[in-house]
Chains A and B, each alone.
Chain A
């Protein structure tokens, strides 16, 4: 019993820090409408700043600490406020892509500079233990838990009582209205970002001694934070803090339980996702409304006529056919690139055509790869059958996660898929269901086409087929429905379309192609391995695809070349290491440019209704609270005075009567 209690205490101490980080996340999400996937990366930046100053440069501990948690966050906060302004009014997809790009850039920059393996983070708090209620508790843990709790409580009071807190709440409701009242939404949002970044930085520095200085691990703090935020329905700050505690305790207890089991060892890191998943499943639609208005980007004019595009496509295929005679020893690189054309085609269909973000694409490809090995080698099925079945196996995996999230909104789909990717990576990749403990499985090629060159042509055929399929879907009824859905799903449902079916359908098609790509990847490498399919691979793929999106339907090919072929010809290790950073920054830049284009269009449209009021009144997105407010305001106004509207109406009535 005492044993359990000590795990609970450990859980509360880490949970308190998670809660603090999560409050920062929820605050910035609510005030800016941007869910900051880079929240954990900010925590990592602060921890590395302390490490750099204290350990590397030898500055005194208090100075290094002060710089890391006092000076660094405002700088990042300013950047985030700029990003927020750049993204104002853009679609949820654009916002997700932007902060995912930022997360990738920050994390990969840390990895590129400090290396991917964890560094020792010197403890800066006393490490003695004291006995509390019969349990030994580390003083450092006590201090960090208290700091986090004090921060959370102080902020809660600030939010409730202080004028700035009230303004923050007002910004959440209507930034335009607040501006009219003489308060700049910019200042308020800047404060929110500042507090959010402070919370992230403090959590990062407090957690680093416990989990070690590992950029990838620290960045995943955002996952703990969003699990906690889900408990608070992405809106209530006290509940969010409680959610942090809950996740801390659950993770600590899970650690105790799984210490006896090999299979479940990945469970603790995946817990936040399970909590999020439970909330998504159980919460009603009204509970989880997305913050912020948006308008869609204008349709991009085609780069060239359809005939010209066909000519270019045929030429590209001709070049691809000639590759085996030109590439020499680099042929396997091109073979892999062809597999990635398929991967990016499926991602393109999902992200660009349907406007849904999947952050688990690497996991779906991994499912296809491992399933192929089990089917082709394990069960001895014919090669082609195994490939198609591998695609089919990926479908239910993707759809199972998509279904609860899809009925909510794009953000929750992105969160759920990111969680799925992590869950699969941490828990399932190592199980015998997928790659097993060694992480590698055998894979075969078709007996008649097993040579490198012959198999290259098999892959070319698959890539061409996949591209044609994607193009056909874009022009089909589904394509039309998807484009309309990106503008207004509510309207489509009032016209009779089951929009959730549409979303799941496109998700399923995408997962199927991804699964097939996984099978082909395994077959090309003649072994299925989990190494290339981490959660960060998903983020990198998304970033590079978005970066190439200016090329329209050629984007998947360009992305595959950029991801696979270009690095193969770069011999400079530094450039290769910093490449993901460029992808991330590029995706951020493209997202902001897209948002600006949408903003310009909002100004040009010439419709009398400003986007803000249009979106505010948008029926599907109007929450019960907003409705209530509107009804109350209207009623109140009318009780007080026969307002202008009423006089106008009265006049109309008399005019009608006099006819």
Chain B
């Protein structure tokens, strides 16, 4: 495994904040739970999954959703959906417009309260927790509309990915930045600038970037945060083919290096088919299919849902 230079881990405990890691890349050191498995093992298998048709598609437990139901008034947007996104894998969540993908996402990151169902992260029930607590537990997300800090520079945007996480809900830590943390933030920022190829833009104001660059900054921000479970919301929308391929390559590389888990909501089938290990297909708020990209390709159900024909 190719070790990123200047790697580090962020500890949730009060003790040592930053610890160097020999060759592992920067990832969550979740001291108290120990739920995250060694990243080396999982990352080697983080290639294109083969013919695993079972419900669980391997990997250490990451994000697990059970019986998720979300209603808006009388409208059921998401109907008892269940899926799993293990660590070290890229899991795809696809479906036509209005299938409930983003709604599911919002429930996972805590912006929406589900009507029913449970959400587990690394084996821990996080259903009732606010967004910030979920992020503290290692869940990061990007936004379809790339909600950047528009008045800050690219560098500051990336740094805030980690800084917000270090500051947590503690007034003192929000006020003061210990030197060790400052170093960690700088390191993480530099690393992400390199991984995402944003070095030339480091001093550019985020509000002035193109869509493709904004996507990368949005991704870079959660990468800098060192989250071990990433939710990426339609990262390719607004990107051209070359940009999409580059984005896919970065995500694949990061998963291989860090062993983190990725849940990808995507419209671009080429991207989904090439990077995902396992796919879930949503339609009208219901899970209509799950399987490897090969299975999904072969499935008549999925094709019918997408093309809108009732032909089987």
Contact = CB atoms under 8 A, between A and B. Distances in A.
A620 B110 CA distance: 10
A398 to B, nearest CB: 15
Contact of A495 (B164, B205, B209, B293): B164
- Choose among B148, B174, B306 the residue with the greatest number of A CB atoms under 10 Å from its CB: B174
A210 interface: no
A638 B130 CA distance: 33
Nearest to B213: A607
A69 interface: no
A452 interface: no
Interface in A563-593: none
A54 B255 CA distance: 79
B64 interface: no
Contact of B132 (A493, A619, A641): A493
Contact of B96 (A473, A495, A620, A638): A638
Contacts of A496: 132, 135-136, 164-165, 167-168, 225
Main secondary structure of the interface of A (DSSP, over half): helix
Contact of A494 (B111, B163, B273, B303): B111
Contact of A650 (B132, B160, B306): B306
A498 B72 CA distance: 27
Contact of A628 (B75, B96, B148): B75
Given A653-B303, A656-B297, A477 B145 contact: no
A491 B98 contact: no
A607 B211 contact: yes
- Which interface class (under 10, 10 to 19, 20 to 34, 35 or more) fits A? 35 or more
B154 to A, nearest CB: 13
A60 interface: no
Given A495-B225, A657-B297, A483 B161 contact: no
Contacts of A617: 144-145
A607 B132 CA distance: 28
A298 B131 contact: no
A627 B77 CA distance: 9
Contacts of A502: 167, 174
B53 interface: no
B225 A298 contact: no
Given A298-B151, A487-B148, A631-B103, A649 B306 contact: yes
Interface in B130-174: 130-132, 134-136, 140-141, 143-152, 156-157, 159-161, 163-165, 167-171, 173-174
Contacts of B297: 653, 656-657
B171 A505 contact: yes
Contacts of A296: 150-151
Contact of A645 (B97, B132, B225, B293): B97
Interface in A608-654: 608-609, 613-614, 617-620, 624, 627-628, 630-635, 637-638, 641-643, 645-647, 649-650, 652-653
Interface in B64-97: 72-73, 75, 77, 96-97
- Choose among B109, B150, B268, B272 the residue with the greatest number of A CB atoms under 10 Å from its CB: B150
B176 interface: yes
B163 A481 contact: yes
B207 A605 contact: yes
A63 interface: no
Contacts of A618: 145, 147
A499 interface: yes
A303 interface: no
A481 B160 contact: yes
A495 B157 CA distance: 11
Contacts of A498: 132, 168-170, 174
B271 to A, nearest CB: 9
Interface residues of B, number: 78
B175 A494 contact: no
Given A494-B140, A607-B214, A650-B306, A619 B111 contact: yes
Interface string B175-212: 11100000000000000000000000000010111110
Given A297-B151, A656-B273, A631 B77 contact: yes
B182 to A, nearest CB: 9
B307 A497 contact: no
B111 A646 contact: no
B147 A497 contact: no
Contacts of B165: 495-497
Contacts of A483: 149, 151-152
B98 A634 contact: yes
A608 to B, nearest CB: 5
Contacts of B205: 298-299
Contacts of A490: 111, 131, 147
A599 to B, nearest CB: 13
Interface in A106-136: none
B270 interface: yes
Nearest to A641: B308
Interface in B221-269: 221-222, 225, 238, 267-269
Contacts of B143: 491, 619
A115 to B, nearest CB: 45
Nearest to B303: A653
Contacts of B156: 480, 484
A495 B303 contact: no
Given A634-B97, A653-B269, A497 B132 contact: yes
A645 B307 CA distance: 10
A481 B164 contact: yes
A193 B20 CA distance: 61
11 contacts: A484-B156, A488-B148, A493-B131, A495-B160, A496-B164, A497-B169, A501-B171, A617-B144, A646-B306, A656-B269, A656-B272
Interface of A: 295-299, 473, 476-478, 480-481, 483-484, 486-488, 490-499, 501-502, 504-505, 601, 604-609, 613-614, 617-620, 624, 627-628, 630-635, 637-638, 641-643, 645-647, 649-650, 652-653, 655-657, 659
Interface of B: 72-73, 75, 77, 96-98, 100, 103, 106, 109-112, 130-132, 134-136, 140-141, 143-152, 156-157, 159-161, 163-165, 167-171, 173-177, 205, 207-211, 214, 221-222, 225, 238, 267-270, 272-274, 284, 293, 297-298, 302-303, 306-309
